[in-house]
Amino acid sequence: MSLLEIENLRVTFPTPKGNIDVVRGISFNLDRERLGIVGESGSGKSMTGRAILKLIRAPGRVSADTFRFDGIDLRNQSEKAMRSIRGARISMVMQDPKFSLNPVMTVGEQIAEALQTHKRLPRREIRNRVHTMLEAVRIADPERVATLYPHEISGGMGQRVMIAMMLIPEPDLLIADEPTSALDVSVQAQVLDIIDEQVKRKGMGLIFISHDLNLVSSYCDRILVMNSGTIVEECNAGDLRNATHPYTRGLIAAIPQLNETRDELPVLDRSTWVAK
């Protein structure tokens, strides 16, 4: 049994001009592995992540034929049941820490909350675990940083705080929405290692959402390529070079190479796949 089984997942928003599907019937399975989702901006990556947590805001709607997490049918879970799953079992690193961290709560309070929501622990223990977690995401001075407000830390620190917050309850499935986009390469590698360790040690499943095709193909086991709400390509990371879909080929071609010989990078030619 897979950790996550999804068949024909749809996210629909009503608009004055009729309903629009921002995720249009995608299907995939996830085991305790690292799955990468790539695609251009607006292709529905974040919406897919939120749909898994059933956190699409009204008036948006989620529907699916199969929608199972660890054998639980998420479709008919009550809000209350979903709350006990969120955070504890599935959690999600939100895309932009500037907007996703509460501006009037300290970083430490917000991380501790992720822990306290699902477990009763003595205060000391919570503090220690928050500090350990902050250290784990390579924050140098955890005691001080824990007392800071989000506007007092940098964007990269914000991303690491976010990761700490979502890893601390040790979920079974982590959805990471561009978790490392503001980090420099060395810190990025370290932070990815921490996530990786949880995958290996605890058997956590990971959905890694990113723009960065290179990063995803080297870090993940499998890759989904999304375009305007559909999955256009699904392959093992190693096979990405042999991708067949014109959109994926276009994306790959647009990556600059170290030994670049082209004068100009090609522009995506949408006509090849939009037409069909």
Partner 1 sequence: MAFESETLADIATKSVKRRSFRKSRSARLLLGLSGFIVSVLLTFLGLLAITFFIGRVVPIDPVLAVVGDRAPRAVYEAARIQMGLDQPAPIQFIRYVQSILSGDLGTSVSTGKLVLDDLKRVFPATLEMATLGIIIGVLLGVPMGVYAASRRGSLVDQIIRVVGLLGYAVPAFWLGLVGLAVFYARLKWVAGPGRLDIFYDGLVQPVTGIVLIDSLLAGETEIFVNALWHLALPASVLGFFSLAYIARMTRSFMLDQLSQEYVTTARVKGVSERLVIWRHAFRPILVPLITVIGLSYAGLLEGSVMIETIFSWPGIGNYLTVALLNADMSAVLGATLVIGAVFIAINKLSDVLYRVLDPRAR
Ligand X SMILES: Nc1ncnc2c1ncn2[C@@H]1O[C@H](COP(=O)(O)OP(=O)(O)OP(=O)(O)O)[C@@H](O)[C@H]1O
- 164 three-class SS: helix
Q: What are the backbone dihedrals phi and psi of residue 77, each rounded to the nearest 5 degrees, phi first?
A: -80, 140
Q: Is residue 46 a contact point for Mg ion (CB under 5 A)?
A: yes
As given in the structure block, the two tokens for residue 64 are 């699916």
- Which stretch in 38-46, 103-111, 196-204, 239-247 sits in contact with ligand X by CB under 6 A? 38-46
- 262 three-class SS: coil
Q: How many CA atoms does the CB half-sphere of 34 hold within 13 Å?
A: 20
CB of 237 to ligand X, least distance (A): 20
Using CB under 6 A, which of 41, 257, 259, 271 touches ligand X?
41
Q: Is residue 225 a contact point for ligand X (CB under 6 A)?
A: no
Q: What are the backbone dihedrals phi and psi of residue 236, each rounded to the nearest 5 degrees, phi first?
A: -75, 150
CB burial of residue 263 (10 Å; 0-12, 13-18, 19+): exposed
Interaction mask 59-98, Mg ion, x per CB under 5 A: ------------------------------------x---
CB of 111 to partner 1, least distance (A): 10
- Which stretch in 40-48, 180-188, 195-203, 240-248 sits in contact with ligand X by CB under 6 A? 40-48
Q: What is the DSSP string of 180-218?
A: TTTS-HHHHHHHHHHHHHHHHHH--EEEEEES-HHHHHH
Q: 159 touches which of partner 1, ligand X, Mg ion, none (CB within 5 to 8 A by kind)?
A: none
CB of 240 to partner 1, least distance (A): 30
Q: Is residue 19 a contact point for ligand X (CB under 6 A)?
A: no
Residue type, 248: T
Q: What is the gyration radius of the CA atoms in the chain, in angstroms?
A: 19
Q: How many residues bind ligand X (CB under 6 A)?
A: 12
Q: Is residue 182 a contact point for ligand X (CB under 6 A)?
A: no
> Where would I find the beta strands (DSSP E) of 31-98?
34-39, 61-63, 66-69, 72-73, 90-93
3-state DSSP helix/strand/coil % of the chain, to nearest 5: 40, 25, 35
Q: 39 touches which of ligand X, Mg ion, partner 1, none (CB within 5 to 8 A by kind)?
A: ligand X
**Which parts of 42-81 interact with ligand X (CB under 6 A)?**
42-47, 60
- Residue 62's nearest CA partner among 114, 12, 132 is 12
- Residues lying near partner 1 in the complex (CB under 8 A) are found at 50, 53, 55, 57, 79, 83-88, 91-92, 94, 96, 99-105, 113-114, 117-118, 149, 151, 162, 165-166, 169
Binding site for ligand X (CB under 6 A): 13, 22, 39, 41-47, 60, 95
Binding site for Mg ion (CB under 5 A): 46, 95
